[in-house]
Structure 1
Amino acid sequence: MVQSMSHSGGESERQAQKPAAEYVRMSTDHQKYSTANQAQAIREYAARHGFRIEKTYEDSGKSGLNLDDREALKQLIDDVQNGAADFSTILVYDISRWGRFQDADEGAYYEHLCKRAGISVRYCAEQFENDGSPVSTIVKGVKRAMAGEYSRELSVKVFAGQRRLIELGYRQGGPAGFGLRRQLIDQNGIAKAELVRGEHKSIQTDRIVLIPGPAQEIETIRFIYEAFVAQGKSEREIADGLNAKGVTTDLGRAWTRATVHQILINEKYIGNNVWNRCSCKLKGPRVYNPRERWIRRDQAFESIVDEETFRSAQTIIAERCKRYSNEELLDVLRGLLEQHGYLSGIIIDELEVGPSSSAYRTRFGSLLRAYELIGFSPERDYRYIEINRALRRMYPDFIAATVRGIGDIGGSVRQDTETDLLTVNGEFTASLCLVRSQETVAGSYRWKVRFDAGLRPDITVAIRMNQMNSAVLDYYLLPRFEMETDMAALAEDNGLALDAYRFDSLDMLFELAARSQLLEVSYGLGSMH
């Protein structure tokens, strides 16, 4: 809704103040975002900056994902475009209240419509001023993306809660499957009722566990394992036998090789609670996760098949897979070494087709032993020294290339000969640092970025080297006022808070330089009129 605001005070004081409108929005996410709290913060901001609020545009109980049901924001945009706005500034609590648009450009578009009409948008609770400067531009883009990622962050929290329930032995989602049933229990673990297919719990504190199903289905499960392990029958032969007897699956369908195979590999038949084998987050594609990402609780339920029989079935299945000889395994390593010049567990596991690093550990006792057999020695301490020497040799070339790139777009840059601090167009400063890759004991990689507290550049350009430290992996453009510590430890995946500043080239830095140059020219032209 749109509300007109009345103000008291002397006429002279009102004339000295600049007219503004406030936009407030609340969905159901958190009390601190109530419209009353937003309005209070906005009014305090207005008082500090000399604004008087003429109108309030309020969307209560509305999601920020799109514009569909947000009548107040629609009205605000209409007033701006139709010349009906009697204010020069729009005050919003923060970027997320303007919207959690899944496409960050949509939020920017609505702000652009206001700016084109001569009306600015100010975000009262943000740390930056929305003044169009290069640094604020990149931060605002990141903040828009982060606002749009609210659903992703919520998904992470939900995942953590589900993980905890799995580890406590409770079932999370999906049908029980053939031979099993879902049992509802209360918060004290007392059984309440057996849930039929499609039925869900109605009390939040209730939980669900798996229990053995009807005797006939249990007998079928045990028959499948007996036929496969003791009689040596294939999944196809077992499926044909069940179909000949008129036995159907839990969905009332005929058995296939695949449905029998799923019975043989699912740990729930030995009572293990396993979750997150595959995932589909935020309506994205279905992803099958590696085993180390599975969430599990062993012996959570009553088993139908004994563990020895189950393990025997897994051994038979594994033996059918292609087995590599020792020499074949070592040949794969030699090829990887020739291709990359260095070996690690990650390099091995990145092979789309081939043995995993665990295969080498199993066969040779350790990766280092396998390395020795092909004459490769990591020599990490010596590599550290050589890598640092190589990076120091490369650094002047990166500085020169950056200066040249800014010059190519018509910008000006001044380089401090002692510190290499770059001052771009006299408007913002940038410092470049080459960040080497370091492999942890667990086989993952880290990049440690140290911020120069003495120079305090507006932007630190962290140039990350690849895992081999032989070439550039990517670039992080890190604004000073977003970095609260003297060092940032980057991983391969850092989440949106940091990865939103990641780029594949220095083009974004050059665009910032070009933008600041255009602003400088426009200010100069404005002063001539």
Structure 2
Amino acid sequence: MIVHKFDRFSRKRDDHVIYKALLNQCGVKVISTTEKTEGETPQDMLLEGMLENISEFFIANLAVEVRKGMAQNAKLGYNNGGMPPYGYRTEHIALGQQNTKSVWVPGPREEIDIIRWLFNQYVFENKGYHKIASELNQQQVPTQKGGTWSASTIRAIIINESYIGSKVWNKQDYQTKGKKWRDRSEWIITENAHPALITKELFEQCQAAANRRNNGGGETHKPFGNKTA
């Protein structure tokens, strides 16, 4: 098997050892076109191991540096990617030569009106997630992706601090399987990162109403596993 560099075969030292040994049992050698070793002498084996360890270190260190950059980006209120919430759009701003950042700006007026209507219906008209979703579907109001509304979609909006102008990052731990949410103390929350669509007072009223109705369902640090109203 010919690879450009050993890190093209695998970036993890453990995988190198295991899979190269398995291939070797089948009479297959892994050869790098740019890192010349025979892999048979003790010196070559040492060199290969060093190259593999350096590669794994480089990738791990790069991941740390990228995350540091994203954390700093979030603290400044900039977007780290992904689709903005319903009612917002992404806008790119130039900060210098070949340096652009993305921020959220208010979207179409009709979407902003839907968001304000939605929050007001929940807290002042005492309508639950299912009822609000049903009314929006009856009015044939499309969701952000053009589909129909669901109770979970409405709930996600109700607990979303983006609507009071806050940028929240680092909610989830993507290194583990499933949806594992970090403790709120680990979140990076930047206030006034973008224009708010509702008042903080209205948002807090909705959270209080959600707590009363759903036995804690309105807590923004517990997005899953709670009942819906």
Matched-pair contact (CA < 8 Å) for 1:274–1:295: yes
- Whether 1:236 and 2:130 are equivalent positions in the alignment is yes
Counterpart position of 1:254: 148
Q: For residues 445-524 of structure 1, what are the structure 2 equivalents within 5 Å?
A: none
Mapping 1:418-429, distance limit 5 Å: none
Alignment check: 8 A CA contact 2:170 2:182 kept: yes
2:191 aligns with one of 298, 301, 308: 298
Question: Which of 177, 192, 199 is equivalent to 1:285?
Answer: 177
TM-score using structure 2 length: 0.74
SS of the residue 1:206 aligns to: strand
2:100 matches 1:206? yes
> For structure 2, which runs of at least 5 residues remain unmatched after alignment?
30-38, 217-224
Partner residue in 2 for 1:465: none
Name the structure with the higher strand share: 1
Deviation at 1:288, TM superposition (A): 2.6
Say if 2:95 and 2:101, in contact at 8 Å, map to a contact too: yes
RMSD: 3.4
CA displacement at 1:120 relative to structure 2: 1.8
1:314 matched to which residue of 2? 207
Give the match for residue 64 of structure 1: 7
Which residue does 2:15 correspond to in 1?
103
Report the alpha carbon displacement of residue 320 of structure 1 after superposing the two structures with TM: 3.3
Task: Tell me if the contact between 2:7 and 2:55 (Cα under 8 Å) persists in the aligned partners.
Answer: no
1:121 — aligned with what?
A: 43
Q: Distance in 2 between matches of 1:179 and 1:314?
A: 19
Query: Higher relative contact order at CA 8 Å, sep ≥6: structure 1 or structure 2?
Result: 2
Amino acid at match of 1:161: G
Instruction: Tell me the TM-score normalised to structure 1 length.
Output: 0.34
Q: How many angstroms apart in 2 are the aligned matches of 1:106 and 1:205? A: 43
- Contact 1:104-1:148 within 8 A present in 2 as well: no
Deviation at 1:172, TM superposition (A): 1.0
Contact 2:94–2:100 (8 Å) recurs in 1 = yes
**Per-residue deviation, residues 449-477 of structure 1 (Å, max 9, x unmatched):** xxxxxxxxxxxxxxxxxxxxxxxxxxxxx
CA contact (8 A) 1:65 1:148 kept: no
Structure 2 partner of 1:165: 73
From the superposition, tell whether residues 152 and 316 of structure 1 become closer, same or farther in structure 2 (CA, over 3 Å). Answer: farther
CA contact (8 A) 1:102 1:148 kept: no
In structure 1, C-alpha distance between the alignment counterparts of 2:21 and 2:54, rounded to whole Å: 17
Paired AA for residue 119 in structure 2: Y
User: Does structure 2 retain, via aligned residues, the 8 Å contact 1:104–1:145?
Assistant: no
Q: Mind listing any 5+ residue stretches in structure 1 that lack a counterpart?
A: 1-58, 68-98, 126-139, 189-202, 324-352, 354-529
- Tell me how many residue pairs correspond in the alignment: 202
Letter matched to residue 206 of structure 2: A
Change (3 A) 1:108 1:253: closer
| Distance in 1, Cα, partners of 2:138 & 2:189 | 36
Q: In the aligned structure 2, how far is the partner of 1:308 from the partner of 1:101? A: 53
Q: Identity across aligned pairs (percent)?
A: 26
CA distance in 1 between partners of 2:171 and 2:17 (Å): 34
Q: What amino acid does structure 1 have at the position aligned with 2:198?
A: V
- TM-aligned CA deviation for residue 224 of structure 1: 0.4
Structure index of larger Rg: 1
SS where residue 183 of structure 1 aligns?
strand
Contact 1:186 1:205 in 2 (8 A): yes
